[in-house]
Amino acid sequence: MTTVELTKDNFDEVVTADSFVLIDFWATWCPPCRRFAPVYDKAAESHPDLVFGKVDTEAQQELAAAFNITSIPTLAIIRENVMIFSQAGALPAAALEQVIQQAKKLDMAEVHAKVAAEQAQG
């Protein structure tokens, strides 16, 4: 699967329609972002069952601000409408694959229970 350009207009639709979305926050002027792009694109090809989105932080400043992006590239993973991972820095291919596999193994019922408990505590 190719990557999907995420904007403030399609973000909610993409994230709610798919239960597992990876997001690369990047900018054209960022050398580490440009180095990470082929690694991310190759991972997208290797995982056609997942959605790989890209957010251009220059064009989508509101979206970047909503995620408190202060350093790019930043990789985020949203599963079942819960952000389960967010890390700045360009990952090598093996590390990206490891993050994907760990995210796939998460027990989302347990994650939702923890989120609900945290929300109940205020």
Residue among 6, 22, 30, 90 flagged as catalytic = 30
* 50/48 Cα distance (integer angstroms): 5
Residue among 22, 33, 69, 72 flagged as catalytic = 33
* 22/73 Cα distance (integer angstroms): 13
- What sign results for the dihedral spanned by CA atoms 89, 73, 54, 79? positive
Distances (CA, A) of 47 to 31, 40, 85, 90, 97: 25, 11, 17, 19, 10
33 is annotated as an active-site residue: yes
3 is annotated as an active-site residue: no
DSSP per residue, 3-24 = -EE--TTTHHHHHHH-SEEEEE
Active site residues: 30, 33
